[in-house]
Amino acid sequence: MPVFLPAWTDADPALHARLSSAIDPDRKVLAALERIVPLSGKRIADVGTGIGHYPLLLARRTGRTYGIESDANLLAEARRLASEAHQPNIRIVEGDATHLPLHDGAVDIVLSAGIVPDDSSGPAIAEALRVLRPGGRLVAIGYYGRDDIGPLLDPETVERSLAATRRGTGWWLRHGFKIKVVHTRIDLGDRELAHALLPRLYGDRGRAFLMAPHAPILRLNVGLYHLAVPQA
């Protein structure tokens, strides 16, 4: 689970759908991804796809997108939504980050929100690199910090995120990743949605935030941590 969603662990398709509508409604993450690597005609694997949010958004741009999910409920919903979208280049398949159901060198891009800046991510990174073609790119979608979400998180979580991006000493840079920061938002304009999601995401801190006067958005800085596979 991405660090900016620390308390939200329910595999509930309805909640995933509501969250997808609230986080990054301007689709700045996809625009930034396109600047990192052109998407047209590419084969992409979205690891931990949930209800297939990114495959559905990418379907018209890519050659083939695989949504890979291990939870049965989310997998079933992703397959239903993909079927309704009538996009023949989407494949929703069962698997997890350390056992991807793809051949060696099968895709050009691997997206993952499950890689954290810790050595425990080694097996997931190795598996992503296995399925990437020469010249391909692993893109980990994670928290960058320095935004409105920080005060809602545990201070130790915030410090770990900041430490991971420090120049020269941060985990991402030491392991060869480049960093692109996306300045996006969580939309709280829908009061019912805000009151349903924030306590689920941030517990008592989320409840306290909603009880005080607040803006209709939360500024969210997402990091796209990308690692290129050398050309053959």
86-110 pLDDT, tens digit each: 989 999 999 999 999 999 999 999 9
Mean pLDDT, to the nearest integer, of 108-127?
Answer: 95
Which of 22-31, 76-85, 188-197 is least confident? 188-197
**Residue 174: its pLDDT value, please?**
95
**Residue 5: its pLDDT value, please?**
56
Residue 1, pLDDT > 50, answer no
Query: Average per-residue pLDDT in the chain?
Result: 91
**Is CATH 3.30.499.10 the right assignment for the domain spanning 13-227?**
no
H/E/C letters for each residue in the chain?
CCCCCCCCCCCCHHHHHHHHHHECCCCHHHHHHHHHCCCCCCEEEEECCCCCHHHHHHCCCCCEEEEEECCHHHHHHHHHHHHHHCCCCEEEEECECCECCCCCCCEEEEEECCCCCCHHHHHHHHHHHHHEEEEEEEEEEEECCCCCCHHHCCHHHHHHHHHHCCCCCCHHHHCCCEEEEEEEEEECCCHHHHHHHHHHHHHHHHHHHHHCCCCCEEEEEEEEEEEECCCC
Output 12 or 128, whichever has higher pLDDT: 128
Residue 192, pLDDT > 70, answer yes
Write out pLDDT tens, residues 211-220.
999 999 999 9
